[in-house]
Amino acid sequence: MSENRWWRGAVIYQIYPRSFQDSNGDGVGDLPGIIERLDYVAGLGVDAIWVSPFFKSPMADFGYDVSDYRAVDPMFGTLADFDRLVAEAHRRGLKVMIDQVMSHTSAEHQWFLESRESRENPKSDWYVWADPREDGSPPNNWQSIFGGPAWRWEPRRRQYYLHNFLDSQPDLNFHNPEVPAAMLENLKFWLRRGIDGVRLDAINFCFHDRLLRDNPAKPEDERTGRGFSPDNPYAYQYHWYNNTQPENLAFIEQVRRVLDDYPNVVALGEISSEDSLATMAEYVGEGRLHMAYSFELLTEEYRAAHIRDTVDALERQMPHGWPCWTISNHDVARVVTRWGGQDASPRLATLLSAMVCSLRGSVCVYQGEELGLPEAGVPYEALRDPFGIAFWPNFKGRDGCRTPMPWRDSPDGGFSTGTPWLPVPPEHLRLAVSHQDADPRSPLNGFRRFLRWRHEQPALRWGEIRFLTLPEPVLAFTRQLNGQTVLAAFNLGSKPQRVALPLRGDLHALEEHGLDPGRLESGTLILPGHGALFASVS
């Protein structure tokens, strides 16, 4: 691929800075800590890092509530530290992507502090304000993702303001042209500092329905999804009017025009809508986002058919766009627990990483995924996530996937010389980097070997994809590029599988990929539990 398409087929390593490495002993990870660990990251074989928010923030939602878009929060360091991070990453051949949180700000942002004071001030129309109904209730039935009405009363204006997330995260009014213009200027600030890409948080939430129409009710049997179980009223509605409005397309085209002034910079959109695959297909392409990802593979549904049907559906809707896939991030339970249960085999971690890195598209992997970290059990008294505190015990929130990286087997995991902001669970210490480095069969070394091997397989990085229909729990597909065809087959289960392979041609197994290898016998595919087979097809 040419340099201006470095992101196609790239493996992007997400760093949650609070939990990666603490350099000053305050118990919170920081930018200098990330710099300390860049050799480790580069040694994984990934292409880029995505650093979750490090901007100035009161940390009600741990950085996704921004109070100053152009400042580094002091707990993470300084702008000079960020510039050094970019330079040191580039020196190691790593691209740098950062979050841009555009749909909302912190309630402590200066814009909101001014906007809430009156209905006449210069920022009065920068947020979504609405009069109450005659009985004083909110203007419509919209619900917040974090539970309860998406409106909060502001006595200074005697109006409600919209918050699709926490009530300390007021939504900006993108219908006011000054707002998108200001957000684009904030984006340029970071582009001028040499970043290689942006991950656009909740990018389909920028615009709301001008008429503030009620969302229709959702039938009980459809109230499912990422953290939106029936105990969360957010699940009770079709979210047709509080996000994914037609006007948003023009805005993402503005974003793309800004990015096009900075060579080789990529935009990755996070999409969560009623039909996320359709929205991805609409948002990605010429003049719009370079790529996008959604939450279809971040749910608890773990079947070969689900993965196959999800990827196939997007391929049909977005034949000329470029997807991005992820099976873990800072918002969902860690994948080996979510898909493998509490007693998942360490080999499952390597298999799942290889599987997602073999799909057509780019890939985001979340820190600790390469170690096979399970979801941490965080006791209620140690919870920090407001989402989990509100919905305990039915939903324990996101702290279980945000605990600090275990670098060595010590009480603090080598993360901090102080008290970590979240406890390091004992079960993670057994999977510390220091242990896994020395074990050639560890998930960490399996991850490294697979990415090194994948780098030498152009078809796996850029080729077209075609699925084979095989019985559960086997997932199989071919990747084809410039006459090279590679078969990829994965046993998602723990027991050995034998299946007839409906594929013509001569197959020659490809080795050294870091997984428990399967084999072929007279047209039969034989896979060990959590094993895989890669073969060239001629």
Catalytic residue among 30, 65, 209, 270: 270
Q: Is 511 noted as a catalytic residue in this protein?
A: no
Q: Which two tokens stand for residue 374?
A: 């399970």
The sign of the CA dihedral 404, 446, 306, 494 is negative
Catalytic residue among 201, 331, 399, 516: 201
In contact, 251 and 183? CB cutoff 8 Å: no
Would strands 11-15 and 48-51 be described as parallel, antiparallel, or unpaired?
A: parallel
For Cα atoms 438, 415, 49, give the angle at the middle one, nearest 5 degrees. Answer: 80
Q: Is 201 noted as a catalytic residue in this protein?
A: yes
In contact, 288 and 249? CB cutoff 8 Å: yes
Neighbours of 309 (CB within 10 A): 13
List % helix, strand, coil for the chain (3-state, nearest 5). Answer: 30, 20, 50
Residue 446 and residue 444: Cα distance in Å, rounded?
Answer: 5
468: nearest Cα among 417, 415, 424, 504 = 504
Residue type, 320: H
For residue 287, give the DSSP letter: T
Residue 1 and residue 111: Cα distance in Å, rounded?
Answer: 43
Residue 416 and residue 429: Cα distance in Å, rounded?
Answer: 14
For Cα atoms 98, 428, 410, give the angle at the middle one, nearest 5 degrees. Answer: 100
Distance, CA of 467 to chain centre:
25
Q: Which two tokens stand for residue 389?
A: 């505190």
Bridge partners (DSSP) of residue 486 are: 479, 536
Dihedral, CA atoms, 63, 66, 72, 75, nearest 10 degrees?
-40
Positions marked active-site:
201, 270
